[in-house]
Amino acid sequence: MLQPGLTGGSQDSYVKHMLVKGKSKGWRVVVFNSRGCANSPVTTPQLQTASFTADTCHVVDHVSSRYPKASIYAVGWSLGGNILVNYLGREHRRCSLSGAVSLCNPFNLVIADENLRKGFNNIYDRALRGGLSRTFDKHASLFEEMHDEYNVQAGLNPRTVREYDEAITRVSLGYKSVDEYYSNSCSCHVVQHVRIPLLCIQAANDPIAPIEATPYSDIKDNPNCMLIVTPQGGHLGWVAGDDAPFGAPWTDNVVIEFLEHLQKNASKPESS
């Protein structure tokens, strides 16, 4: 199962590259398009959020019921990685995944929010808020019916990602403030509860998922978790490798090798 980042979906190149890699191994590949992403239909006033894991539960349960004998693995990028790790930690008692990979996970949204508003990073904030407002514009009518609760105009023309989340996201989840939403959406708080193999890949110079937000100690203390930190790469910018500059990032090979290792060990018969 592939879980794209903020406003991302099956149309994005990094998702397609991983899909092709997975298919080449003979795996069934499912892309989870979050609410409102990749032109997915929305019938209620809630779009993709960092802390809502019920949809992930539903997708995993659906795939598991369709293929009850299959090992299921998940890969999440950026905000999708944060949602995925939140799912792994919060639902560890019922999680039916056999392994997972998180790439460029912001982990701590409080720190990520502060970092986005520093200096040159506002260019990334501008790009993200543009994606949010375009997605919201397609479904604004659902929110206009509840105009007293949502600030629809701010959702259509937010000055920052934070302003959008204050106007729309935190309201849909019932939080009193955007800071409460960010604080309660941090996947760094639940890494310690992850009970399946999890590989986290981060870049030290990522402007959207700042390295200081990465929970080094909690990952180290959890025997189920591994962490790779590259000195370069930015945000989903690992372009070096055999397929550079327009093909799959080199990290795709690492992800596939990790999942193949898990699958190989899962297929070994237990010793008597």
d(CA 51, CA 82): 8
Strand order across the beta sheet in which 73-77 lies: 2-3, 73-77, 99-103, 198-203, 225-230
Q: What is the pLDDT of residue 271?
A: 46
C-beta of residue 240 within 8 angstroms of C-beta of residue 250: yes
Q: What is the pLDDT of residue 216?
A: 98
φ/ψ (deg, to 5) at 42: -130, 130
Contacting residues for 272 by C-beta, under 8 A, at least 6 apart: none
Which of 199, 3, 12, 162 has the alpha carbon at shortest distance from 83? 3
C-beta of residue 77 within 8 angstroms of C-beta of residue 178: no
C-beta of residue 187 within 8 angstroms of C-beta of residue 85: yes
Report residues of the chain scoring pLDDT below 70: 147, 267-272
Please give the domain boundaries of the chain with CATH numbers for all domains. Answer: 2-109+188-267 (3.40.50.1820)
d(CA 15, CA 31): 8
Rg (alpha carbons) of the chain, rounded to whole number: 18
Q: Which of the residues are catalytic?
A: 78, 206, 235
Which of 112, 155, 139, 156 has the alpha carbon at shortest distance from 34? 139
How many residues in the chain? 272
Which of 76, 56, 72 has the alpha carbon at shortest distance from 8? 76
Give the single-character DSSP code of 187: G
Instruction: Return the amino acid letter for 30.
Output: V
Query: First CA to last CA across the chain, in angstroms?
Result: 33
Q: Which two tokens stand for residue 128?
A: 């993200």
Q: What is the pLDDT of residue 269?
A: 55
Distance, C-alpha 110 to centroid of its chain: 16
Q: Which two tokens stand for residue 88?
A: 């792994």
Which of 251, 224, 220, 221 has the alpha carbon at shortest distance from 235? 251
At 183, which helix (H) or strand (E)? helix 178-183
Beta bridge partners of 102: 76, 200
Q: What is the pTM of this model?
A: 0.94
